Structure 1
Amino acid sequence: MRLTALLAFLLLPLPALAETPMTAAEFDAYVTGKTLTYSQFGTIFGTEEYLPGRKVRWAFTEDICQYGTWYEEAGNICFVYEYDPTPHCWRFWQEGDGLKALSVNDAPGSELSEVAQTDQPLSCAGPDVGV
């Protein structure tokens, strides 16, 4: 009886951590040349433009843009931005028609979800606005 219960438990779907993380090559192929908007807990979290050469422009909603780069480390996709040299590492995977991302510092359930995608550049507020 216990063996049957254990086998039934092992066959249950696993949480987001069990999703197959994207490799750097897969991530690069998916994002380069696109601007993706992410939500968390049903609210827009921010938007990131993925430029060639693993460069990015990121903005939290209605905030100034930050330039940065990304790289792969230990199977995670890590970002470093001009105003914060601390790496921010994430696991990305495809789910449905978009990306999901979970920070290595967060628990399952706090994933970001891709909610919009465009090939248009990120519209930046603040210092990036030209004269």
Structure 2
Amino acid sequence: MEGWTLHYGLGGALFGSEQYFPGGSVQWRDASGLCLHGRWEADDGLICFIYEDDPDDRRCWAVALQEGRVTAWLPGVGGRALVEAFREKAPLDCPAPGLGA
């Protein structure tokens, strides 16, 4: 997904967006506009994200491509999946990592 920004929906509403950079770096922006820089890594078939707000909290997702869209869910939790609403090459409206707000 490097070079893309994916926008995810949950239950028909925007949940958040993630921009994917080289080397596993990501920028997350939730629906309220809060931006977090982080990184992703593969772990035993899951994709795990670690964000700057809590580097000890690994958020691991099962991910699949369904009907051409990325779908992600938290294994073992139940509940609904995040579904890619659309993707684009445009960057997120967030401060660059390391620059602060």
Give TM-score scaled by structure 2 length.
0.88
Q: Report whether the alignment pairs 1:76 with 2:46.
A: yes
* Matched residue SS, 1:91: strand
The correspondence for 2:34, drawn from 57, 64, 69, is 64
The correspondence for 1:102, drawn from 73, 76, 89, is 73
Hey, which of these two has a bigger chunk of strand by percent? 2
The correspondence for 2:63, drawn from 86, 89, 92, is 92
Hey, which of these two has a bigger chunk of helix by percent? 1
Instruction: Provide the identity percentage.
Output: 34
**Corresponding residue pairs, total:** 97
TM-aligned CA deviation for residue 105 of structure 1? 4.8
Q: Counterpart in 1 of 2:13?
A: 43
Structure showing greater Rg: 1
RMSD: 1.8
Distance 1:80 1:65 in 2: 13
| Per-residue Cα deviation, 1:63-122 (whole angstroms, up to 9, x for no partner) | 221000000111100000000220000011101121100112531x41000001001111
Q: 5+ unaligned residues in a row in structure 1: which ranges?
A: 1-30
TM-aligned CA deviation for residue 41 of structure 1? 1.2
Q: 5+ unaligned residues in a row in structure 2: which ranges?
A: none
